[in-house]
Amino acid sequence: MSRAARLAIAALRRAAGGLLLLVGATFVIYITIRSAPGDAIDAISPMGTPPDVKARLMEEFGLDRDPFTGYIAWLMRSLFGDFGESLVFSPGAPVMEVVLPAFGRTLLLSASALVACLILAILAALLLGEPSRRQQLLTGPLYVATAAPSFVVAVVFVQFVNWGIKAFLVEGGYVPPSWYPLEMYTESLVPYVFAGLTLIAGDGLFMDFFNSVRADLNALRNAQFIAAVKAKGARTLGHIARNMVMPLLSGYAARLPIVLGGVVIVEYVFTLDGGGYVLLEAARERDFPVVVGLSVLFTATIIAVNLLTDIIRALVDPREVAHGG
């Protein structure tokens, strides 16, 4: 069999596995949510609603079925892209219509933060090179800084902006400080910039990337095959880059769940209307279809990224195909 064919088969098998995982994960999420003691009906029906009226509402919202049959029905419908309708958050609206735009913003925010972080980490690693003695002294404090959870970083940012430089950053808006000389037209972007910076600095994201990039760079510089390549007169950078792709990719994939968790909190602190906001708000209102839909999106993203990583890894490194599957 040709390599391409084997690759394709491996990729298909991975994809099937991923889909199976997704189904399993949605089952866990759906059952968890439906096991709630009280449900959306109690949260929205007025006090003293007669039982027969409640029963009618239950039926209307599809909560009268037991969780397992409910799940099967939900799964069947969602296979065709119908994730049900929102109960409270946006009554009657198809879940994906509510959830997708918000989740898109979240994804955009996390993705740009990850990319920016990677670029920054590579630049920093190239600039700083091998750690000198003086830099080694800094390791301790830097290590402590990597442990700062993103929401702590966010709180520090907000406090610094609002009370340190006397600007105003709250509720998805921004007002520049009175001493700021220039006319500003991009106020609405500022909270996103800060949120991105928070994601980069928080949860040790930047330091992790930086450390791994630097370690890889140093290892590669000293590696023998580079010397061989150099002897052949080829350019070293391309080879280094290719050999760095894989660890970085794995790092990315492993990082994504943490960033997606952090982004929920960061959105809350900066009050951005992304998936995190919708998730917390819908959970507060017990809007189960929206919560399930959103959780599925979060999970699907993680699975998809893992899948993609595997495939790229297989493309870059032929040995992976043999191992994979």
Partner 1 sequence: MGDSRLRVGLYLSGTVVGLVLLLGVIAPFVPYDPADAVDYDQLLQAPGMGHIFGTDGQGRDVAMRLLKGTEAFFLPGLMAAALATVFGALCGAVSGYAGGWLRGGVLGTMQLIDTLPRLVFIILVCTILNPSIYLIAFVAAVLFVPSIATVIRRRVEALGSEDYILAHVAHGFRPVRILLYHILWLQCRPLLIRQATYVFGYVLFVEVALSYLGDYGVQEPDPSWGNMVAQARGLRGVSAWPWAVPAVAIVVTIAGFLAFGNLLARADEEEVR
Partner 2 sequence: MMNRLLSSLLVSCVVAAFAAPADAQVFRYPEDARPTSLLPFFAEDMSSVRMVELIFDSLVIINKRGDLEGSLATSWKTDPDNMGIRFVLREGVKWHDGKPFSAEDVVFTVQAAQNPKTVFNAKSKFGFIRDVSAEGQFGVHFTFNRPINEPERRFLFKVLPKHAFKSTRISRKDRFGRKPVGTGPYKVQKFGARSVSLEVNPDYWAPARIGEVLMQHTPDKSAQVSLLQYSGKQAGVQAVIFLPPKNVPIFENSDQVVLEPYHTVSWWYMAFNHKSRGLEDPVVRDAIALAINREELLEAHLGRGDILGGPFTESSPFYNFEVDPREQDIARANKMLDDAGYKKKGSVRRKGRTKLQFTFVMDKELASNQALLLGIEAQLKKIGVRVKAQYVDHARYREQVFNRNKFDLTLNVWSFEEVEDVYPLFHSKGVMNFINYSNKEVDELLDTAKSTRDYKKYKEYMKQLHAVLNRDLPYYFLWSLDVYSGLSRQLKGTFIQPYYYFTSFEEWELSP
Under rule CB under 8 A, residue 80 binds partner 1: no
Q: Are 310 and 14 in contact (CB under 8 A)?
A: yes
Under rule CB under 8 A, residue 140 binds partner 1: yes
| Cα 281 to Cα 287: distance, rounded to the nearest angstrom | 9
**Out of partner 2, partner 1, none, which partner does residue 163 contact, by CB within 5 to 8 A per kind?**
partner 1
For partner 2, the closer of residues 98 and 305 by Cβ is: 98
Q: Are 265 and 154 in contact (CB under 8 A)?
A: yes
| Cα 302 to Cα 318: distance, rounded to the nearest angstrom | 24
DSSP letters, 75-114, are: HHHHHTT---B-SSSSTTSBHHHHHHHHHHHHHHHHHHHH
- Other C-beta atoms within 10 Å of 241: how many? 12
Under rule CB under 8 A, residue 151 binds partner 1: yes
| Cα 8 to Cα 27: distance, rounded to the nearest angstrom | 29
Q: At which residue do the structure tokens 């409910």 appear? A: 70
**Out of partner 1, partner 2, none, which partner does residue 302 contact, by CB within 5 to 8 A per kind?**
partner 1
Q: Are 14 and 307 in contact (CB under 8 A)?
A: yes
Quick note: the x/- pattern for partner 1 over 3-22, rule CB under 8 A, is: ------------------xx
Q: Which residues bind partner 2 (CB under 8 A)?
A: 37-38, 42-49, 53, 56-57, 60-61, 85, 87-93, 98, 101-102, 168, 170-175, 181-189, 271, 273, 277-278, 281, 284-286
Under rule CB under 8 A, residue 295 binds partner 1: yes
Angle between helices 236-270 and 95-128 (to 10 degrees): 130
Stretch that binds partner 1, among 27-35, 73-81, 189-197, 308-316 (CB under 8 A): 27-35
Quick note: the x/- pattern for partner 1 over 152-171, rule CB under 8 A, is: x--xx-xx--xx--------
Under rule CB under 8 A, residue 146 binds partner 1: yes
**Out of partner 1, partner 2, none, which partner does residue 186 contact, by CB within 5 to 8 A per kind?**
partner 2
Q: Which of 104, 149, 238, 318 binds partner 1 (CB under 8 A)?
A: 149
For partner 2, the closer of residues 88 and 117 by Cβ is: 88
Quick note: the x/- pattern for partner 1 over 196-225, rule CB under 8 A, is: ------------------------------
Q: At which residue do the structure tokens 């996390």 appear? A: 110
Residue type present at position 321: V
Q: At which residue do the structure tokens 């394709």 appear? A: 8
Residues 304, 306, 307: CA angle, nearest 5 degrees: 65
| Cα 9 to Cα 15: distance, rounded to the nearest angstrom | 10
Considering the complex, what minimum distance in angstroms separates the CB of residue 57 from partner 2?
A: 6
For partner 1, the closer of residues 11 and 158 by Cβ is: 158
For partner 1, the closer of residues 85 and 267 by Cβ is: 267
| Cα 110 to Cα 78: distance, rounded to the nearest angstrom | 26
Residues that bind partner 1 (CB under 8 A): 21-22, 24-25, 28-29, 32-33, 35-37, 140, 143-149, 151-152, 155-156, 158-159, 162-163, 257-258, 260-262, 264-265, 268, 279-280, 283-284, 286, 291, 295, 298-299, 302-303, 306
